Every structure is written in structure tokens, then in C-alpha cells.
């Protein structure tokens, strides 16, 4: 009996540590993305919708090559390190890290040299020459940020979440500081979009330097990569293919979508502005769950990998339930906020009512998006990279079809319909495979019980919005509306047993209930 009590004690302590770690990572991620939102506001007001569209096009094309250079390696390295840790083999950890750094450095440097040699023909893929200038500014940082991504995978696999999150935050802060200084205080003949690109490049160099210093300061060492290069490549290629395809789809859409809007009757400048509103204003707001869910995945994936390789099926099923419930909770909280406050958010952040209306209309995308984000991470941690690649391709096909066929009928909203189709297809396929791998999923009841919360809160919030906007100023009404919606959600979630706020605060602040002596056997 004492052994059982001791085991239960360890289990409680493990869960508390897991929650606290997730909370710390979430705070870092929330601060990082909050700062990113503020910087996005500065960019939208400084560059304007057209300039923001140009910036997004160049960045989306650069993302393709960044993905090719490193994308699959960080998560694969994390999983391999977790496997070696479970087997008690630290020397192979060092070999795997050296192999990953070598692979990404060779790919990154090779792509950089090749693209500079082919600059004249390659630049022709951009409809606007400004995009090409921005792309080649980003390209200087390709190798550095690729190697940084691999070192970040090492931190992830070794559960150094604080360093992982802190360096990400430092990168964001450096980009914002340099960007604001260049855009606001540095007056010259250089275009503002070029200044914004230079800020991104400086942030890449900074994060690489911090990660490299921390890696060696904490005793990190490289060992001969022999025997690790082929396994890493074999495991990372499906993830790289999936993310490269994702970047390619984004790049294709950034080129095709404005052209389809022009074909539907818009001018070229208006089409680029419409794309800038969706890609540069609406999507960053809709991607809000990404920062929170990535924090959950960051903490759970190494544990998930170790459980999978140790064949602890019951514990694995429990982690899946926790992860899916957390992702659903995030979506449930945000959807009524976006439905009720979306227009106000667009006007307040971007001085653009169109972006706010699109946020309101696309709020339900958050449900399949959140499930896709967490389930894809969990499946990749179990070595299901090929399956997630196939699921992605199904969703991407739906996205491309929407971007090609629907602009004449829906305008800029066609891109959001495509996102909804993409995430719905991917989430359903991922859940089916998760159920097969870990046993029956236990989150269906949680999902069904959360639907009344969304409906009731959204309807009540719309009524309160009409009342507040009639009698109060715009900002005051919006603030009170946000507080009302959040309070209503928390009350309903608590009543339905979907979220225990008291327990969350207790775990977050590290307070423990006083425990009595265990009963005798």
C-alpha cells in the first residue's frame, strides 16, 4: 500500500510539474505573440495594406526555402533525442545533433549560393519587383536561422523549455526594436518594406548567436555524425515535404489569389490590398491559438515520444485526451470573442473594418485549426510523418481549389473558406489515425459539451454589444464587451465541468492543498 501511495504521489507531482511547465511556456509564447501583434499593427499602419501584401508575398516565398533547409529536422531531432534518452544513450544524442546541424548547414548554404547565382531568372516569379528585393534580404539569414531551428530541436528533446522559449522571445523583441528604429527614426531613401525586411534578418542572426552560445555553455557537444545522417534524413523528409508543400501552397496562393481577384474585376493594386488584409491582418488574428497550442505541444511531445517508445499505451491515451481537451478549450474561449468583438478588433488594431468583419465570419475555423495543430504534432512524435503528409496534401488541394474557383463569388473571403476546408479535412483524418494508434478517443464528450458554451455566449455577447455600442464610446464598449464575454464563458465552462479555474490558478501559482495523512491499508 505504501508503494501505491508513493506511486500516486509521484504521479501528482509529475502532473503538477507538467502543468507548471506548460504555463511558463504559454506565458512566454503569449508575450512573444502579443509583441508580434503590436509590431503587426505598426507594420500595417506604416506600410499600408499594399506594402503589407508585398512583405507577406516575399516572406511566404522565403518560407519555402527555409522549410526545405530545416523544417523537418527540429521535430525529428527532438523525437530521436527522446528515444535515445529512453534508451539511456547520451553519445548518440550528440551524434544526432551533429548530423542535424551538418545537414541543415549544407542545405542552407547551398540554397543561398544557388539562388544568388540565379537571381535574375528567379526574380521573375514575382509580379512586383519589390518582392524580389525583400526576398534576397531575407535570404542572407537562411543558413543561420536554419541551424538555429535545429539547435532549438535539441533544446526541445532535452526538455529545456525555458531556453527554447526565451530565445524565441529575444528574437521577436530584437525584430521589433530594430524594425521600429528603422521605420520610425531612420529617415532615408530606403523603402519602408526593405527596412522591415532588414529587421527580420537581424533577428535571425541574433537568435542563432544566442542558441549557439547557450548550447555550448550548457555542455552541448558534437560527436561524429556517422550512423545518424541517414536515419535523420529518412525520418525528417516526410515532415519537410509536408511543410515545404505548405509553404509552396502559401506561395502559390500569394501569387494566384491576387491574379484571380484581378480576373474577377479588381484592379491590381486593390487585389494586392485585399490579399494584404486577409494574409497580413485577418490570418494573424485567427492564428492566435497557434501560440498557445504550440506551447502545449512543446511540453507534451517529448513526454509523448518517450511513452510511445516505452509502449505505455494507457498513459499515451491520457496525454492525447489532455492535449485535445486543451486545444478545444482554447478554441471555445476564442470563438465567441471573435464573433462578438471581431469588427472592433479590426478597427482598433488596423483601422480597417473589413478585416474585422472577416474575423467575425471566420471564427469557427478555430475549431478544426486547433485540433489539426495539436494532433499533427502528436502524430509526428509517434513517427507518423508520412500519414500527416498525406493528410496535409488532401487539405491543401481543397485550399487551392477554393483560391482558384471562389474569388469571383466571395472575393477575399474565398481564402478563408479555403482555410476552413483545409483544416476540416486534415483534422478529421488526424483524429481517425490518433484513435487507431492510441485507442478510443475520449474528447468527443468534451467537444459536444462545449458547443452550447459557444452558442449561448455568442448570442448573449451580440445582444450586449448592441446595447453597449448604443450608449458608450467605441473603446469603452469594446473593453466591457470583451470582459462580459470572457466572464460568461468562464461561468458556463465551470458549470459544465469543462474548466476548473480554481485548480488552474492553484497549479499555476504552485499552491497545494493541505493533505491529510493517508488512510491505512
Q: pLDDT tens across 121-171, in order?
A: 888 877 778 888 888 999 999 999 989 988 888 887 777 878 878 888 888
What pLDDT does 506 receive? 65
Q: Span 394-413, mean pLDDT?
A: 87
In a domain, 478, yes or no: no
User: For the packed helices 72-87 and 229-263, what is the interaxial angle rounded to 10 degrees?
Assistant: 150
C-alpha atoms less than 13 angstroms from C-alpha of 321 in its C-beta half-sphere = 15
Cα separation, 357 vs 354, in Å, equals 5
**What is the C-alpha separation between 157 and 328, in angstroms, rounded?**
25
Ranges of H-type helices in 218-287: 229-263, 268-277, 283-286
Concatenating the DSSP letter of every residue in 371-430 gives HHHHHHHHHHHTT-HHHHHHHHHHHHHHHHHHHHHSHHHHTTHHHHHHHHHHHHHHHHHH
Each residue's pLDDT tens digit, 45-94: 788 777 877 888 888 788 878 877 776 778 778 778 877 776 777 778 88
Ramachandran angles phi, psi of 163, nearest 5°: -65, -45
Q: Which of 174-183, 236-245, 463-472, 502-511 has the lowest mean pLDDT?
A: 502-511
Q: pLDDT tens, 325-338?
A: 888 988 999 999 99
Residue 46 belongs to a domain? yes
What predicted TM-score, i.e. pTM, was given to this entire model?
0.66
Backbone angles phi, psi at 177, to 5 degrees: -60, -50
Q: Is 422 domain-assigned?
A: no
Residue 129 lies in a domain: yes
Do residues 264 and 411 touch, judged by C-beta distance below 8 A? Answer: yes
d(Cα 402, Cα 278) in Å, to the nearest integer?
15
Provide the residue count of the chain.
Answer: 521
Residue 7 has pLDDT above 50, yes or no: no
Cα–Cα distance for residue pair 457/419, rounded to 1 Å: 24
505, pLDDT greater than 50: yes
Check residue 5 and give its pLDDT. Answer: 35
- Greater confidence (13 vs 249) lies with 249
Q: Is the pLDDT of residue 396 over 50?
A: yes
pLDDT at site 39 = 83
* Inside any domain, residue 120: yes
The pLDDT confidence band at residue 15, using thresholds 50, 70 and 90, is very low
Residue 442 resides in a domain: no
* Domain extent for 69: 1-260
For residues 480 and 501, what is the distance between their CA atoms, to the nearest angstrom?
A: 21
- Decide which of 1 and 20 is more confident: 20
Averaged pLDDT score across all residues of the chain: 80
Domain annotation covers residue 366: no
Banded pLDDT at 436 (limits 50, 70, 90): confident
Q: Which of 374, 485, 468, 481 is nearest to 430 (CA)?
A: 374
- Asked whether the beta carbons of 360 and 339 are under 8 A apart, the reply is yes
Of 244 and 318, more confident: 318
Considering only residues 506 and 201, tell me which one the structure prediction assigns the higher pLDDT.
Answer: 201
Mean pLDDT of 191-205: 88
Enumerate helices (H) and strands (E) in the chain, giving the number of each. Answer: 21, 0
Average pLDDT, stretch 404-425? 88
Looking at the structure of the chain, the number of domains it has is 1
User: What percentage of the chain exceeds 90 in pLDDT?
Assistant: 12
Residue 520, pLDDT > 50, answer no
In a domain, 331, yes or no: no
CB proximity list for 281: less than 8 A, separation 6 or greater? 40, 44, 49, 52, 346, 349, 350, 352, 355
Name the residue among 187, 240, 178, 244 with its Cα closest to residue 205: 178
Contact 55, 191 (CB under 8 A): no
Whole-number percent of the chain with pLDDT over 70: 89
Of the candidates 283, 288, 278, 280, the one whose C-alpha atom is nearest the C-alpha of residue 333 is: 288
Amino acid at each position: 500500500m505504501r508503494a501505491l501511495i508513493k506511486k500516486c504521489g509521484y504521479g501528482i507531482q509529475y502532473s503538477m510539474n507538467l502543468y507548471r511547465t506548460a504555463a511558463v511556456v504559454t506565458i512566454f509564447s503569449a508575450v512573444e505573440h502579443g509583441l508580434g501583434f503590436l509590431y503587426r499593427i505598426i507594420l500595417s499602419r506604416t506600410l499600408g495594406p499594399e506594402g503589407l501584401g508585398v512583405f507577406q508575398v516575399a516572406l511566404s516565398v522565403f518560407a519555402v526555402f527555409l522549410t526545405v533547409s530545416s523544417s523537418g529536422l527540429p521535430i525529428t531531432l527532438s523525437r530521436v533525442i527522446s528515444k535515445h534518452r529512453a534508451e539511456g544513450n547520451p553519445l548518440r544524442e550528440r551524434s544526432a545533433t551533429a548530423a542535424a546541424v551538418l545537414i541543415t548547414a549544407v542545405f542552407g548554404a547551398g540554397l543561398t549560393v544557388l539562388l544568388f547565382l540565379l537571381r535574375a531568372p528567379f526574380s521573375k516569379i514575382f509580379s512586383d519587383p519589390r518582392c524580389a528585393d525583400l526576398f534576397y534580404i531575407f535570404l542572407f539569414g537562411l543558413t543561420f536561422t536554419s541551424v538555429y531551428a535545429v539547435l532549438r530541436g535539441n533544446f526541445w528533446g532535452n526538455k529545456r523549455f525555458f531556453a527554447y522559449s526565451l530565445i524565441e522571445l529575444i528574437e521577436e523583441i530584437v525584430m521589433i526594436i530594430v524594425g521600429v528604429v528603422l521605420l520610425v527614426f531612420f529617415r532615408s531613401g530606403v523603402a519602408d518594406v526593405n527596412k522591415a525586411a532588414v529587421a527580420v534578418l537581424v533577428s535571425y542572426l541574433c537568435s542563432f548567436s544566442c542558441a549557439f552560445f547557450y548550447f555550448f555553455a550548457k555542455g552541448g557537444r558534437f560527436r561524429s555524425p556517422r550512423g545518424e545522417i541517414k536515419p535523420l534524413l529518412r525520418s525528417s523528409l516526410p515532415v519537410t515535404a509536408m511543410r515545404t508543400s505548405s509553404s509552396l501552397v502559401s506561395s502559390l496562393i500569394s501569387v494566384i489569389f491576387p491574379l484571380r481577384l484581378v480576373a474577377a474585376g479588381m484592379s491590381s493594386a486593390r487585389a494586392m490590398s485585399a490579399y494584404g488584409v486577409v494574409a497580413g491582418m485577418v490570418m494573424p488574428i485567427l492564428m492566435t491559438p497557434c501560440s498557445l497550442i504550440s506551447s502545449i505541444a512543446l511540453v507534451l511531445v517529448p513526454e509523448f515520444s518517450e511513452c510511445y517508445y516505452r509502449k505505455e499505451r494507457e498513459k499515451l491515451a491520457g496525454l492525447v485526451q489532455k492535449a485535445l481537451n486543451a486545444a478545444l478549450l482554447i478554441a471555445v474561449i476564442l470563438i465567441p470573442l471573435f464573433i462578438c468583438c471581431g469588427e472592433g478588433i479590426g478597427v482598433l488594431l488596423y483601422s480597417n473594418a473589413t478585416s474585422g468583419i472577416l474575423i467575425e465570419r471566420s471564427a469557427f475555423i478555430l475549431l478544426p485549426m486547433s485540433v489539426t495543430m495539436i494532433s499533427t504534432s502528436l502524430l509526428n512524435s509517434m513517427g507518423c510523418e508520412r500519414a500527416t503528409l498525406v493528410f496535409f496534401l488532401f487539405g491543401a488541394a481543397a485550399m487551392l481549389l477554393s483560391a482558384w474557383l471562389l474569388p469571383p463569388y466571395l472575393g477575399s473571403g474565398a481564402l478563408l473558406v479555403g482555410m476552413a476546408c483545409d483544416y476540416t479535412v486534415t483534422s478529421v483524418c488526424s483524429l481517425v489515425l490518433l484513435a487507431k494508434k492510441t485507442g478510443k478517443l475520449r474528447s468527443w464528450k468534451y467537444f459536444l459539451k462545449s458547443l452550447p458554451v459557444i452558442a449561448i455566449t455568442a448570442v448573449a455577447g451580440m445582444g450586449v454589444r448592441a446595447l453597449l455600442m448604443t450608449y458608450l464610446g467605441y473603446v469603452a464598449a469594446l473593453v466591457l464587451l470583451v470582459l462580459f464575454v470572457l466572464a460568461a464563458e468562464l461561468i458556463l465552462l465551470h458549470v459544465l465541468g469543462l474548466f476548473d479555474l480554481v485548480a488552474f490558478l492553484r497549479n499555476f501559482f504552485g499552491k497545494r492543498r493541505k493533505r491529510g495523512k493517508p488512510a491505512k491499508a
